[in-house]
Structure 1
Amino acid sequence: MNRRSFLKWSGFGLVAATLGGLGMREAQAGNRYYSGPISDHFDGKIFFNPGGEEPRGFTDLLRWQFGGGKIDWPKPVKAADFVTTKPDQRVDGNRLVVTMIGHATLLIQTAGLNILTDPVWSERASPVSFAGPKRANPPGIAFDDLPMIDIVIVTHNHYDHLDIATLKRLADRDKPRIITPLGNDRIILDDVANIDVGVTDWGDRVELGDGITIHCEPCHHWSARGMGDRRMALWAAFIIETPGGKIYHIGDTGYANGQHYREVREKHGDIRLAIMPIGAYEPRWFMQAQHQNPEEAIAGFGLSGASFGIGHHFGTFQLTNEGIDDPPAALKTAMSAAGIGAERFKGLRPGQQFEVPRARA
């Protein structure tokens, strides 16, 4: 099987990262993205999850890929499963409106500010245009219908979260400020020179004025864009502190015994909204350390103390073995078992919006 066929067959964006994309770059002695002091999560060359698990290697990747069990997604996806929405240009005051665009891309609107998370409008989550995971549905907001974007949060560098083509479009149109963890600034600025990138480490904060502060917080994941850069850029979750309350956004994470959910509650107190991944979790033996499942997401939601929640990272790109409807079905079961009503936690489909109440349900 040649490289192109393998990438297309696999349906998993991180296979491309593992194999090194088109370049098949060799490992280098140093870190190509970041140089800085040793810390509790950086050893001088690579980042790591303190007390956590390392990502599995190539042998396990092949075991998964050739082990069967992958559920085919319908092609095309039923039109009833998605809508397109034209959001308001601004949402003022303490109102908080979140629109699902697809996968981990959401538009957060509050206090007159428009924030995008992990924006991907490309047709594939891949280093190449001809292969790799393809969109199962169009973006829930057409790019031309996006309001002017002020802030972009890029949580880590996997292709389903850091999409250079989309960042170029945003830079040309709106020139937003990008907030991203250590090392990802180098990746972005190598291809998108005309944009302001603020780089953060775990525990850092970025003051934006008017009562808006973005805090960079730990999560349990990893990073790679090529064969020689595994864990050379940091991954993170973020707390967006606003006059109307705090928003906890996680792009990707393993549950890691709920450690980071407990820590964020202890550090930040009341959280109005938690946005967390609920998809790309099968098979568990391979995915558990990097992608939580819906049951774990609901457990983490409880530990975080958040009043409301949104689940994402499902139904747009088929990255793993589960069926397209498995995450929302499992989410419903987990919510019922935890006594969490549908008014508190939403598994949004592309184009759906959630106007988040102020008071705890």
Structure 2
Amino acid sequence: MTRRKLLRLLGIPALLGSSGLAWASYARTRNPYYQGPVSDHFDGVIFSDGRPVTKGLADVLRWQLSKREREVFPPRYPAPPQDKPPARVEGLRVVHLGHASFLYQIAGLNILVDPVYSERASPFAFLGPKRVNAPGVAFGDLPTIDVVLVTHNHYDHLDIETLALVHARDNPRMIMPLGNDAIVKARDGSIRAEAHDWGARLALSDKVAATLVPSYHWSARGAFDRRMALWCSFVIETPAGKLFHIGDTGYHDGSLYERLGREHGPFRLAALPIGAYEPRWFMSDNHMNPEEAVKVMRSLRAEQALGHHWGTFQLTDEGVDRPVAALEVALAEAGVPKERFRPMQPGLVWKA
């Protein structure tokens, strides 16, 4: 594939001419999603997690156009049978829907996190990462949803069509970081999307609350909106203990998770990404590998961890089950019993 064709597929025709360069320059001076006060992580246009930006379009092209060893996912990767959740749970029940999508049933409340039911994690219906297994719960078998939490706007986490379907059926409250509400409401202005900054603590019921906290990541829906919507992780307070949910993150020096562990821990459960990490020279800034996920589990002082973000959509170069093998090695080297960090597949359930 030529560089020119790849740019077009990435939705970057503007970079192919002088008028496109002028548009790119203009696009970086305004934020289409959020206009708010400058803060320690927002400069008026761009959000930041405090780290320098070390990768750009040239690095994407270098990765995609390089001759490399890429372990291709099979067309289908079998998963456990689909789960049929109960209508409500008074305790704590968690089912993996696939990739980074979960259903949390907590003290009578039903919460979806980063729900993706589309066939592709992509802006296109005909191109982009295609799922290799069905969602762990059929959409029609989902219980009534009260709350949706969205961590950030990448297509494998913010699926507009799924959010529209959930809204049409259940009209839940949808909570997301700053700027993401504008993306959702552009699809349907009646969706109950609300956006909040890091540090916001929100009551979800009289027994459950969620707090948005930082992660080492970034955001974009296209070529010219990089870091123009905020990203986050969620701390969820429940009667069964605190939960920590990360959609995507790099590890960096680990200091963020040491701090969050001190401020919010210990945790009964942490849902941590373990996939989409190769090649490391490109992915390490924003996607941790299984060894780093074990370190995060320990920093958060989590009693139990669930590994996700693997085995459904191929986003990077490692094979479909490579994260599971790497996690087993990392746990053994860290002296952590493997039953404390369970790699999830669509349809698998964990209960407190």
TM-score range, shorter chain: over 0.9
Tell me: CA distance 1:2–1:64, structure 2 relative to 1, closer, same or farther (3 Å). closer
Contact 2:147 2:204 in 1 (8 A): no
State the secondary structure of the residue aligned to 1:106.
strand
Match of 2:85 in 1: 87
Match of 2:206 in 1: 210
How far, CA to CA, are the matches of 2:3 and 2:108 in structure 1?
47
Indicate which of 182, 187, 190 corresponds to 1:186. 182
* 1:8-19 → structure 2 map (5 Å cutoff): 16=10
- Which of structure 1's runs of 4+ aligned residues deviate more than 3 A? 1-8, 15-20, 24-27
Q: TM-score, normalised on structure 2?
A: 0.92
Residue by residue over 1:248-268, the C-alpha shift from the partner in whole angstroms, topping out at 9 and shown as x without a partner, is: 001000012112211111111
Contact 2:109 2:205 in 1 (8 A): no
Tell me: CA distance 1:269–1:19, structure 2 relative to 1, closer, same or farther (3 Å). farther
State the secondary structure of the residue aligned to 2:338.
coil
- Does 1:222 pair with 2:231? no
Residue by residue over 1:317-352, the C-alpha shift from the partner in whole angstroms, topping out at 9 and shown as x without a partner, is: 000000001001101111111122233111111111
Residue by residue over 1:128-182, the C-alpha shift from the partner in whole angstroms, topping out at 9 and shown as x without a partner, is: 1010000011101100010111111110000000000000000000111111000
Contact 2:269 2:302 in 1 (8 A): yes
State the secondary structure of the residue aligned to 2:72.
coil
> CA offset at residue 276 of structure 1?
0.9
How far, CA to CA, are the matches of 1:17 and 1:246 in structure 2?
41
| Amino acid in the other structure paired with 2:262 | E
> CA offset at residue 353 of structure 1?
0.7
Contact 1:16 1:126 in 2 (8 A): no
| Amino acid in the other structure paired with 2:37 | P
Which blocks of at least 5 consecutive residues in structure 1 are unaligned?
9-14, 357-361
State the secondary structure of the residue aligned to 1:209.
coil
State the secondary structure of the residue aligned to 1:241.
strand
Match of 2:135 in 1: 139
Contact 1:53 1:289 in 2 (8 A): no
How far, CA to CA, are the matches of 2:329 and 2:32 in structure 1?
44
- Structure with the greater relative contact order (CA < 8 A, sep ≥ 6): 1 or 2? 1
Contact 1:19 1:227 in 2 (8 A): no
How far, CA to CA, are the matches of 1:37 and 1:179 in structure 2?
20
* 1:27-46 → structure 2 map (5 Å cutoff): 28=27, 29-46=29-46
* 1:72-221 → structure 2 map (5 Å cutoff): 72-77=72-77, 79=78, 81-92=79-90, 95-221=91-217
| Count of paired positions | 342
Which blocks of at least 5 consecutive residues in structure 2 are unaligned?
15-19
Q: Cα RMSD (Å) of the superposition?
A: 2.0
How far, CA to CA, are the matches of 1:276 and 1:235 in structure 2?
15
> CA offset at residue 55 of structure 1?
5.3
Give aligned-pair identity as a percent.
51
How far, CA to CA, are the matches of 1:268 and 1:110 in structure 2?
19
